[in-house]
Structure 1
Amino acid sequence: MDPAAWDARYGEAGRVWSAEPSRFLVETFSALPAGSVLDVGTGEGRHATWLASRGWTVTAVDFSAEAIRKARELQRDHAPATVGRIEWVRADVVAEPPRPAAYDAVVVLYLHLPAQHRRQVLRGAAEALAPGGTLLVVGHDSANLAEGVGGPQDPAVLFTAGDVVEDLAGAHVRILRAERVARPVGDDGAAALDAVVVARRP
């Protein structure tokens, strides 16, 4: 992970990612009562902004200053009423784990790390849940390299739902959903393959 490289990427004109939230975030959180949520690796802030617009109080963390700058712009331009509802935090999510039992929900969306760091971040994410809290993890599935489109091309940072379940073993969460999902990405029928895991702390 190189903050300078991501600063350079996010520093280019235009957006790196879509401004629309992940469909899996919408599916999972539309039925949940709003509370406090931690967005791990927020990037340009599309998920944090969507959550804030639904009444959540958001802590959004990324190690790229340029990502945080663009995230603030997205919030200001697309959801000005949410200003003050998101705390934008520049921090390394690997080196700086969140406070235990501090959030009603945690989302880790398309954060791709080597396995050791991924496990560390996901364990910290699970520990950050208050009782009854929900964890959503989504990323490009390992099978996406051969069977899907887009996403990282380094197999070392891809994972399966099963990998996430193993990462969370012993973390005192109950797995509610763990599957590979085909996500349409174009009008030609092409799809990306995503690993999707939903867990809850009892």
Structure 2
Amino acid sequence: MGGGQRGRRTGSGDRVRRRGPDGRRRDQRRPHRRGHPRRRRGVPGPGADDVRAGRLGGALPRPPGAVEWPPQPAARRRGRRAHPGRALDVGCGEGADAIWLAERGWRVTAADISTTALERAAAHAVAAGAGIADRVTWTHADLRDQPPAEGAYDLVSAQFMHLPGDARRDLYARLAAAVAPGGILLIVGHHPSDLWTTAHRGVFPDAMFTGEEVAAELDPTAWQVLTAESRPRSATDPHGRPITVHDAVLVARRRSLGTPAPTA
């Protein structure tokens, strides 16, 4: 992944050059937060109000640290139902999901390739209240090069991490390996059907996926798939028009040792 300087990893808002479908190289900015378009200071991101008021099941106040994006709803639902333990937040951005989990007793390792995002996330954690920052470890890492320890986490969450097919499958296999027996794997991304909306995702088609595709790559003798679906939600396109977009959602539990696998 290149940036403006040779050998430097790209961060939030950095301009990078990508090759388009026609083979030509184009300048693009790295997504500001897990695949969401970059936003101007003081201007809410597309669908931000819908996320707060709709996807989270009711209007919620912003946390004390004024974290830019509220926790992703899938992480919120799964984190509420699971018993607090060790969580890995992949591509944590400015820390909304990690802080939300820490507030509920989880010990979180939050990883991102952007040092700027991690600095902001750490500040948000301090502002969120006593003890929250102590429960989150902010890690500057590209997990494709530095895979997490196997079986180390009770919850592994990767949201809007869009990579080309082979690279995505390799990363997701490493993330799945990091889930402890009885733990949860949560993967969320922009569904390919969004390509036919005016959402302007800025993600190449081969980097999009469905929950069913991710589920098919899991060993059924080792995993119980709890959810593999396309989940609709209301959003606002760049022109300010209300639209419906879809998230690809995969939730799976690693079978505990000694748990029998389903028979054919």
TM over 0.5, shorter chain: yes
The residue type paired with residue 126 of structure 1 is A
SS of aligned partner of 2:169: helix
1:42 aligns with 2:92: yes
Distance 1:123 1:193 in 2: 24
Distance 2:172 2:96 in 1: 20
Unaligned 5+ segments in structure 2 are: 3-8, 15-29, 33-37, 46-67, 256-264
Number of matched pairs: 202
Match of 1:111 in 2: 161
**Higher mean C-alpha deviation, range 68-77 or range 185-194:** 185-194
1:138 aligns with 2:191: no
CA contact (8 A) 1:7 1:67 kept: no
SS of aligned partner of 1:138: strand
Q: Which has the higher contact order (CA 8 A, sep 6+)?
A: 1
1:69 aligns with 2:147: no
Distance 1:122 1:35 in 2: 21
Match of 1:196 in 2: 249
**Higher mean C-alpha deviation, range 32-41 or range 5-14:** 5-14
Distance 1:138 1:79 in 2: 28
Distance 2:118 2:41 in 1: 14
Match of 2:170 in 1: 120
Point out the structure with the larger helix share: 1
The residue type paired with residue 104 of structure 1 is D
The residue type paired with residue 159 of structure 2 is L
- RMSD after superposition: 2.5
Normalization by structure 2: what TM-score? 0.69
Distance 1:148 1:167 in 2: 30
After superposition, residues 1-202 of structure 1 pair within 5 angstroms as: 1-2=1-2, 3-6=9-12, 8=14, 14=41, 18-147=68-197, 149-169=199-219, 172-186=222-236, 189-202=242-255
Cα gap change, 1:171 to 1:97, in 2 (>3 Å): farther
| CA positional deviation for 1:188 | 5.7
The share of aligned pairs that are identical, in percent, is 34
Higher alpha-carbon Rg: 2
CA contact (8 A) 1:43 1:68 kept: yes
Residue deviations 1:137-166, cap 9 Å, x none? Answer: 001011111146253332121111122113
Normalization by structure 1: what TM-score? 0.89
SS of aligned partner of 2:212: helix
Distance 1:198 1:12 in 2: 29
